[in-house]
């Protein structure tokens, strides 16, 4: 819907992407021929029935899985051709992850969890501290820095995870059902945060969700079903239908 005003080139260009899994002796196709553009600053919602391949697509975009065919150009670089290590370094600098089950390290405090991606950079301890404190302030958890994940509610844990996702200032944030395990109130907080990351910090976001309310935050929604993507569905049009 913003295409007319902003003919910006796509940040992510996905072309003819295919992915299947082998289960037992059988090959199960999950994605058959996905083509999709995501522009810088987009907030894209991915919906679809369970098992339709949403997570699979998101994982491919985030560079933690490899497709069988097709290409994924991120800012002109085909990440499907990157080697194992290059890809790890690319993720560290480019992608922030938000998982359904938060995936914080239980033995590290909120502070240390957020700091973790920065240990992959050359920042000094003092610089890291400034960044971590700012990120925790952004998610409203300055008071909880020294708490371990087990001492935090689900919503708080997910906010720590969001702070971790933005700590190294990545251009892309991927979120796989970030509200899937949260109560209504916490989910709303988390979605409000995602919205701020997009509007205030200009992060490009791809978010998989089941939740209509969550999807409403997105600028655009894609539906995935039977390995195919139905494009250009505006959530508002769909919901009034």
Ligand X SMILES: Nc1ncnc2c1ncn2[C@@H]1O[C@H](COP(=O)(O)OP(=O)(O)O)[C@@H](O)[C@H]1O
Q: Which residues bind Mg ion (CB under 5 A)?
A: 55
Which string of b and e fits 79-114 if b means at least 16 CB within 10 Å?
A: bbebeeeebeeebeebbbbbbbebebeeeebbbbbb
From residue 118 to residue 157, the character string flagging contacts with other proteins as x (rule: CB under 8 A) and all else as - is -xx-------------------------------------
Q: Does 51 help bind ligand X (rule: CB under 6 A)?
A: yes
Q: Which does 64 bind (CB under 5 to 8 A by kind): other proteins, Mg ion, ligand X, none?
A: other proteins
Q: Based on the number of CB atoms within 10 Å of its own CB, is 195 exposed (0-12), middle (13-18) or buried (19 or more)?
A: middle
Shortest Cβ distance from residue 72 to ligand X (Å)?
16
Name which of 19 and 128 has its Cβ closer to Mg ion.
19
| Binding of ligand X by 53 (CB under 6 A) | yes
Q: Which is nearer to ligand X, 48 or 117 (CB)?
A: 48
* Rounded distance between C-alpha atoms, residue 95 and residue 38, angstroms: 14
Q: What are the residues whose beta carbons fall under 8 Å from the beta carbon of 113, sequence distance 6 or more?
A: 104, 105, 149, 160, 161, 164
Alpha-carbon span 68 to 200, nearest angstrom: 36
d(CA 185, CA 124): 37
200 touches other proteins by CB under 8 A: no
CA dist., res. 75 & res. 53, Å (int):
24
- The residue among 28 and 101 lying less far from other proteins, judged by its C-beta, is 101
62 binds ligand X (CB under 6 A): no
* Choice between 70 and 221, CB closer to other proteins: 70
What token pair was written down for 140? 């409203």
Q: Which stretch binds ligand X (CB under 6 A): 54-62, 91-99, 150-158, 163-171?
A: 54-62
Residues 14/72, Cβ–Cβ less than 8 Å: yes
The size of the interface with other proteins (CB under 8 A), counted in residues, is: 29
Question: Using CB under 8 A as the criterion, which residues of the chain lie in contact with other proteins when the complex forms?
Answer: 56, 59, 62, 64-65, 84-85, 88-89, 91-93, 95, 97, 99-101, 103-108, 112, 116-117, 119-120, 164
């Amino acid at each position: 819907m913003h295409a007319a005003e902003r003919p910006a080139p796509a940040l992510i260009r996905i072309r003819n992407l295919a992915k299947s899994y082998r289960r037992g002796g059988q090959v199960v196709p999950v994605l058959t021929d996905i083509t999709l553009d995501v522009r810088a600053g987009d907030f894209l919602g991915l919906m679809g029935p369970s098992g339709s391949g949403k997570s699979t697509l998101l994982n491919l975009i985030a560079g933690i899985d490899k497709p069988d065919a097709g290409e994924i150009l991120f800012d002109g670089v085909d990440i499907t051709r990157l080697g194992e290590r290059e890809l790890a370094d690319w993720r560290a600098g480019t992608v922030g992850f938000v998982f359904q089950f938060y995936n914080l390290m239980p033995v590290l405090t909120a502070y240390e969890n957020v700091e973790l991606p920065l240990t992959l950079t050359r920042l000094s301890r003092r610089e890291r501290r400034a960044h971590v404190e700012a990120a925790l302030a952004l998610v409203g958890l300055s008071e909880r820095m020294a708490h371990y994940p087990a001492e935090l509610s689900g919503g708080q844990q997910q906010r720590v995870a969001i702070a971790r996702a933005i700590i190294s200032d990545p251009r892309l944030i991927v979120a796989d059902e970030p509200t899937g395990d949260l109560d209504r109130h916490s989910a709303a907080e988390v979605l409000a945060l995602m919205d701020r990351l997009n509007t205030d910090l200009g992060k490009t976001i791809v978010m998989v969700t089941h939740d209509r309310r969550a999807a409403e935050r997105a600028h655009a929604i894609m539906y995935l079903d039977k390995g195919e993507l139905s494009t250009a569905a505006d959530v508002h049009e769909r919901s009034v239908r």
